Amino acid sequence: MPTSGNIQYLRQHEIDRTRWDACIDNADNGLIYGYSFYLDAMCDNWDALILDDYKAVMPLPWRRKYFIYYLYQPYFVNTLGVFGNIVSKEIVGQFLNAIPAKFLYWDLDLNERNKVCNYNNHQHLELRQRKNIFLKLDTYDKLYQGYSRLAKRKLAKAKEEGIIITKGVSANDVIDHYINEYEKKNRIIPDSVYTNLKKTINNFSKNNSQTYMAHTKSNEVLGFYLLYTDKRFVYSILGGSTEKGKSIGAFYALTDAAIQNVAGSQKIFRFEGSDLPGIAFFDLQFGSYPIEYLHIRRNSLPKPIRWLKK
């Protein structure tokens, strides 16, 4: 279904935040990642493409290195793309056609409702399927029946070891434990990204965020988990466990606790980040199912430097 509307490119300061957030809120495919406060926190910079009077929108997170402008996927922003109630594959193609030519390199993940056709410049566009894992939140009894034997065995082990799950802990503490466990050993994500993630917490009420800590009776931390929720989804944002926690099923216990808390809501639990085989294997132990979304990459850099982004 083509659109006769007008797609306009706006700089970040030109965007009407009220209309923007209303579009995300009312969109059939709206995600927390698309709200202006989340983009402000997690993107170095972001501009946008907007169809007509905010009928559909597409955030454009960007950076500049030397003289090159490029689009990138920010950390802790699983997918973006086109949001709205009219997101046919033709319209998605029109949005891609409207991306300003100054952005010479794209590296973006589109949301699962975005398909692409009628994109004019196929010369440098690469499309690749990525995987996420979803779980429809039925009653807990029904959900537990769908758990794998491995998951049930891990949960029994966690119970036998006396793991205690505490809900409603400080989100900052969860993030700090994650940094200490993973980033101190192998720095991947800059400290500034975690500082920005902490900024998003203030925009969620207690009903829209979940935090959990797994620990022993003596308060030794074994695992940690941060999730966000909206009217459609539960988002697995950040979580993990210590080496000891891994050996006794701490993150299985944390995931089960998070699922129990939202069971029966009929929302979708988004495991996120499940394109990695090891993570996908874990996420599929809870009766969940895979869905696909598109990763798009376009390299229009000048030939002398194009190889740098291969």
Q: What token pair was written down for 15? A: 């965007």
What pLDDT is stored for residue 86 in this prediction? Answer: 84
Same domain, 78 and 116: yes
Rg of the Cα trace of the chain? 20
Longest dimension (CA), the chain: 64
Domain that holds residue 219: 138-266
- H runs (alpha helix) in the chain: 17-26, 36-42, 89-97, 140-145, 149-160, 171-178, 191-201, 243-247, 250-262, 277-283, 303-306
Same domain, 158 and 230: yes
Q: Could you tell me if 90 and 157 lie in one domain?
A: no
- Alpha helices of 13-111 — where are they, by DSSP H? 17-26, 36-42, 89-97
What are the tokens at 253?
A: 């216990």
Q: Are 249 and 261 in contact (CB under 8 A)?
A: no
**Residue 259 shares a structural domain with residue 144:** yes
Report yes or no on 286 lying in a domain: no
Question: Would residue 200 count as lying in a domain?
Answer: yes
Reported as a pLDDT band with limits 50, 70 and 90, residue 121 is low
For the cut 60, the answer to whether the pLDDT of residue 308 exceeds it is: no
Specify whether 68 is located in the same domain as 39: yes
Same domain, 183 and 237: yes
Residue 45 within a domain = yes
Is residue 278 one of the residues assigned to a domain? no
**Phi, psi (deg, nearest 5) at residue 214:** -100, 135
Q: Where are the alpha helices (DSSP H) in 119-249?
A: 140-145, 149-160, 171-178, 191-201, 243-247
Strand partners, 108: 296
**What is the total count of domains within the chain?**
2
Q: Taking a C-beta distance cutoff of 8 angstroms, is the pair 122, 93 a contact? A: no
| 222 and 103 together in one domain | no
In a domain, 175, yes or no: yes
In a domain, 1, yes or no: no
**Rounded percentage of the chain residues whose pLDDT exceeds 70:** 94
pLDDT beyond 90 at 204:
no
Place 287 in a pLDDT band, splitting at 50, 70 and 90.
Answer: very high
Q: What pLDDT band is residue 309 in, cutting at 50, 70 and 90?
A: low
Residue 188: predicted pLDDT = 87
In this structure, what CATH number is given to the domain that contains residue 213?
A: 3.40.630.30
pLDDT in tens, 163-192: 999 999 999 999 999 999 998 777 789 999
Same domain, 104 and 185: no
From 79, 32, 80, select the one nearest 57 (Cα to Cα): 80
Q: Using 50, 70 and 90 to split pLDDT, how confident is the model at 2?
A: very low
Residue 2 lies in a domain: no
Q: Among 74-83, 174-183, 196-205, which is the least confidently predicted range? A: 196-205
CA distance 163 to 276: 27
203 and 185 in a common domain = yes
Query: Between 309 and 271, where is the model more confident?
Result: 271
d(CA 27, CA 34): 10
Tell me: do 211 and 260 sit in the same domain: yes
Q: What is the pTM of this model?
A: 0.93
> Within a domain: residue 102?
yes
Torsion angle (degrees, nearest 10) of CA 66, 70, 74, 75: -60
